[in-house]
Amino acid sequence: MNRTRFATLLLAPAAAASLAGCGVNSIPTAEESAKAKWADVQAAYQRRANLIPNLVATVKGAAASEQNILVGVTQARADATKIQLSGDQIGDPAAMQRYADAQNRLTLSLQRLQEAYPQLRSQENFQTLMSQVEGTENRINISIQDYNKAVQDYNTEIRTFPSVIGAKVFYGAKPMAPYQATTPNAEQAPTIDFGNSAR
Amino acid sequence: MLKRLALAASLAAALAGCDRGPPSPEAFARHAPALTGRVVDQAQLLAPADEQALAAQSAAIERETGAQFVVVTLASLEGRSIEDYSVRLGRRWGIGRKGVDDGLMLVVAPAERKVRIEVGYGLEKRVTDPFAAKVIREQLVPRFKEGRFAEGVRAGSDALAARLRSRMSDAQIARLDGAAT
C-alpha cells in the first residue's frame, strides 16, 4: 500500500511533465499564433482600403469618363471595410467566406480600374499610388500564406495524437478555417456589376 | 492496485515521446540557388568585376547601416511569380537581422523578364513601394530592355544604397516618395 502510494506520487509529476508536451501548452500556442497571423491579414487589407480614397481622387482628376468604375471601387471598398473578423470568429467558415468575398470583390474592382485607364499608367501620381496598392496586395498574399500555415499547424496539432487528447479533454478545441483569397474562376466570372457591363 | 499502477505507467509511457522534431525547411523550388555570397548570379549576367563591386557595396551598407543587401539573378522562376519566389528565397536564406527584418534583395529573372526589389518589413519606411517602383522603372527596366543587365543592376544598386544611407527621417522620405504613412 505504502509502496503504491509512493509510486503514484512519483507518477503525477511525470504525467504532468509529459502532458506539457501533449497539447496543454502547444494548443493555445498554436491558436494564439493563428490569431496573430489573422490580425496581420486584416491589417494588410486595411492598409489597402486606406489607399483607395486617394487613388479614386487621382483617377477622377485625370479622367472624368467612366465614373461608374470609380463608383464601383468606392462601393466595394465600403463593403469590404464594413466586415471585420475578430480572432474568435476565425473558426467560423461562413463568416470567413463573407469577409473573403467582400475583399475579393474589391480586388476585382481594382483590376477593372487599372484595365479601364491604361493611359494613367504613365502618370506619376497614379504610379505612386498603384505601386503602393500592388505592394500592399503582395503583403496581403504573404500574410494569407502565413495565416493558412498557422491554421494548418493548429488543425494538425488538435487532430494528431497525443495532442488530440489535450484538445478533447482540456480545450474542446475546434478546427479553424483557412482563408481563400481568390474564388475559383473569379477572373472569368466577375461577381460585381458596374451597371454598364454590356458584354 | 497493481493493475491501476500498470495502467498509469503505460499511459505515462504513451504520453511521453510527444516531442516532435523541428519542421524541415520548406521546399518551394527545385533549382533555387544557395546563398553563396552577397551576389548570387545564377543567371550569369554579371562579370567578375561587377560582382566584386556589388559585393563591396553590400558589405559597406551592412557596416554602415546594419541592413543586409543581396543581389540575386535567377535562371528560372520555376513557374512561380517573382513576388512569391523572392519572398520564399529571402526567408529561406534569412536575409536581414532577426527581429529587425532589415533585408533587401534585388532579384532579376531575365528568362521571364521580371525584376523585383524585395524589402524586409523593417526597411519599408526607407525603401517605400513608390521608391522601389521608381528604381525599377527608371534605373533597371530601360537598361534591361537594351540588354545591359550588369549596368542596370549597378545603377539600381547605387540608388538603393543611396537611399539606405540617407539621413532623411521616415516622415521626410514618405513625403518625398508620396508614400502613405
Cell of A137: 496586395
Nearest to A176 by CA among A159, A188, A192, A190: A159
What pLDDT is stored for residue A196 in this prediction? 33
Answer whether residue A118 is part of any domain. yes
CB contact at 8 A, A91 and A174 = yes
Cβ–Cβ gap A14/B12 under 8 Å: yes
Residue A8 included in any domain: no
How far is the alpha carbon of A2 from chain B, nearest alpha carbon, in Å?
Answer: 11
Q: pLDDT per residue over B31-82, tens digit each?
A: 999 999 999 999 999 999 999 999 999 999 999 999 999 999 999 999 999 9
Residues of B with CB under 8 A from a CB of A: 1-2, 5, 8-9, 11-12, 14-16, 18-19, 83-84, 87, 128-130, 132-134, 137, 177-180
In a domain, A6, yes or no: no
The whole domain housing A105 covers 39-199
The CA-CA-CA angle for residues A9, A10, A14, to 5°, reads 120
Contacts of A14 in chain B (CB under 8 A): 12
B103-109 vs B114-119, strand pairing mode: antiparallel
Separation between Cα atoms, residue B81 and residue B85, nearest integer Å: 6
Residue A25 inside a domain? The answer is no
pLDDT in tens, chain A (199 residues): 455 565 555 555 555 555 555 667 788 888 889 999 999 999 999 999 999 999 988 888 776 666 788 899 999 999 999 998 888 888 888 888 999 999 999 999 999 888 888 888 788 888 899 999 999 999 999 999 999 999 999 988 888 877 777 777 776 778 888 888 764 444 433 333 323 333 3
Q: How far apart are CA A87 and CA A77, in angstroms?
A: 22
Cell of A54: 486617394
Could B179 and A132 be called an inter-chain contact, meaning their C-beta atoms sit closer than 8 Å?
yes
Q: Considering the domain boundaries, does residue A107 fall inside one?
A: yes
- Interval B122-177: pLDDT, tens: 999 999 999 999 999 999 999 999 999 999 999 999 999 999 999 999 999 999 99
A21-30 pLDDT, tens digit per residue, is: 566 778 888 8
How far apart (Å, rounded) are the C-alpha atoms in residues B25 and B22? Answer: 9
pLDDT at B6 over 80: no
User: Cell triple for residue B44?
Assistant: 550569369
CA distance B12 to chain A (A): 6
pLDDT of residue A66: 65
CB contact under 8 A, B83 and A141: yes
Residue B174: per-residue pLDDT: 96
Distance from CA of B107 to the nearest CA of A (A): 15
Write out chain B residues lying below 8 Å of A1, CB-based. 1
Q: Are A129 and A58 in contact (CB under 8 A)?
A: yes
Q: Identify the CATH assignment for B33-177 out of 3.90.1310.10, 3.10.310.50, 3.40.50.620, 3.30.470.10.
A: 3.10.310.50
Q: Domain tally for chain A? A: 1
- Write down the ipTM of this complex: 0.80
**A18/B16 touch (CB, cutoff 8 Å), yes or no:** yes
Angle at B73 between CA A148 and CA A149, to 5 degrees: 5
Best CA proximity match to B9, nearest among A162, A10, A164, A25: A10
